[in-house]
Structures are given as structure tokens and as C-alpha cells.
Chains A and B, each alone.
Chain A
Amino acid sequence: MNFPHSLSHFPLFLLFAFLAAGVLGVLSRSTPLTRLRAAAWSFLLFVAVGIAAAWLIYPISH
């Protein structure tokens, strides 16, 4: 299976954020539109926090 191995770290990170945010959006709201908004908001937060954490620990590796 070549699909996930062909992805680099960042697309895998986006895939993880997309799937986890999708589940959270579906579970936390009851109508399709509000679910979509909650999922989008969760996705943005996942990405923002992930990038912020990456920059925070960047000096440790260099």
C-alpha cells in the first residue's frame, strides 16, 4: 500500500486534523450547517495549535 507513505508529514498532519475535526463536529452539533462550522473551526484550531507547537519546539532540535 503506497498511499499514506507517499504523503509527507504536513499532509498527514492535515489528514489527521481533518478526520478528528470531522468526528468532533458531528458529535458536538445537531444540524448539518452547525456541524460543518464546528468541524471547520476544530480543523483550524488543530492546524493552528499544531503549527504553533512545532515552532515552539523548533529551537530544541536546532
Chain B
Amino acid sequence: LPEPPNSPLEPTEPGAPEQEPAALPAAEFRSFKSAPAEIAGADDPRTAGDVRAEELHAEESRADEFRAEESNPAPAGASAGKKGTPLRLMALGTLVAIVGLAVPGMGHVLLGRWGRGLLLSAMVGALAVTGYALRGNIFDAHPHDVFHLLGFVSDASSGIFYLLGRSIEANGPNVSLAIGDYGTRFIAASGVVNLLCALDAYDIAIKAKR
């Protein structure tokens, strides 16, 4: 096939003056628009014109988004936090986690999960009350070693049941019997599972979990 004259892709002779690329005639431009796009691959039915039109449309969409952000900045409370979670949801999650830690199951109740909240409250309460009834050890807020500190953290995590513990366990702890030691484990377990409940309420509040 003879090469087309004045082709813009044709290499020029060294020293020859540079030629302006000739404008494509309308018929040739139409055939270019309807020609298959080589950059999109042989299987892609889109034409080069379609690909260019899509690129232009994407650029316009990005420009529109940028203009919308410029004219309507997001309120301070709705700015994105870590992993794109809005701060408003994180604040709500923290609130329900704290409430759930103070009163077992109440965090779920605040989120409208009545069944789950009452069930968790009953089971955490049963663990704590059984532990106090068995006269398990209650770790106070004055730790003298790291094990005492861990015991205090786990006991206190049962929230209101920790505060009620002294009144339930009127005669004080008795760990001289093995059954009293069982009570210590029940009390600690109630606090630990209540921590899990509070974390679950947080996850539900930030919509990380159904």
C-alpha cells in the first residue's frame, strides 16, 4: 500500500523543515471515531472516540466533585476518621461502649438491640452474682502488683455488678475453700465477657457489624 502523503507519523528527513500536521478531513475524522481503539485491546468493542469521551466525562465528574467540596465543606463532626469511619459514629460507638461497660447489655439496648442486650445482661449478671455468692475475691482499686491490677481491671469491667459486689458478698471473700476460688474466676470472667460486649456494641454503632 502506498503511504499517505503528509502523514504526521512519517519520520522527517534530517535537516528538512518541520511540517505542520495536516488537519484531518471530516470523513477521515469520522472513520477515526468509528475505528476500533487499539489502546483498549482487541476484544474491546469501544472506539477511540468512545474511550476519549469516557475520559472527558470522568474528568468532568472529578471537577464537579471538587467544586461541590469547595462550595459545601463537610461539617467538623462529620469528618472522616481512621479507615473512613465518620467521627460522629465513632463518638456514638464510644458512648455506647462506655454505657455498656457501666451497665452490662445497656449499650446494645441503646442501639435498639433489646434481645441481645437483655440476654447479655442476664448472662454477665449471672456470672457475677454467682461469683459473689461463692465468696470469690474482689480486687480493689489499690493494686500492689501486676496480677492484682489485672484482677481489678477484669472485676471492675463488670460495671454496676462490681459496685454491688460488696453488698452481695456481705461476709467478705473466702478463698480458703476451693469453691471461693471458683467464685474469683466467675467474677473475673463476668468482667472480661462484659468487655467483649462493650466492644461488640461499639462495632454495631460504627456499623462495622450488624
Contact = CB atoms under 8 A, between A and B. Distances in A.
Interface of A: 1, 3-5, 9, 12, 15-16, 19-20, 22-24, 26-27, 30
Contacts of A20: 127, 189, 193
A10 B44 CA distance: 70
Nearest to A12: B182
A5 B179 contact: yes
B186 interface: yes
| Top-9 shortest CB links A-B | A23-B193, A4-B133, A4-B134, A22-B123, A19-B127, A27-B200, A1-B133, A23-B123, A19-B123
Given A16-B185, A23-B193, A5 B127 contact: no
B196 to A, nearest CB: 6
> Helix, strand, loop or mixed for chain B's interface?
helix
Contacts, number: 49
Nearest to A22: B123
Contact of A9 (B178, B189, B200, B210): B178
Given A1-B133, A19-B126, A27 B179 contact: no
27 contacts: A4-B130, A4-B134, A4-B183, A5-B134, A5-B179, A12-B134, A12-B182, A15-B130, A16-B127, A16-B182, A16-B185, A16-B189, A19-B123, A19-B126, A19-B127, A20-B189, A20-B193, A22-B119, A22-B123, A23-B123, A23-B193, A23-B197, A24-B196, A26-B120, A26-B123, A27-B197, A27-B200
A15 B124 CA distance: 12
Interface string B121-140: 00110110010011000000
B57 interface: no
Given A23-B124, A27-B120, 6 more contacts: A4-B179, A4-B183, A16-B127, A19-B127, A23-B120, A27-B197
B62 interface: no
A53 to B, nearest CB: 14
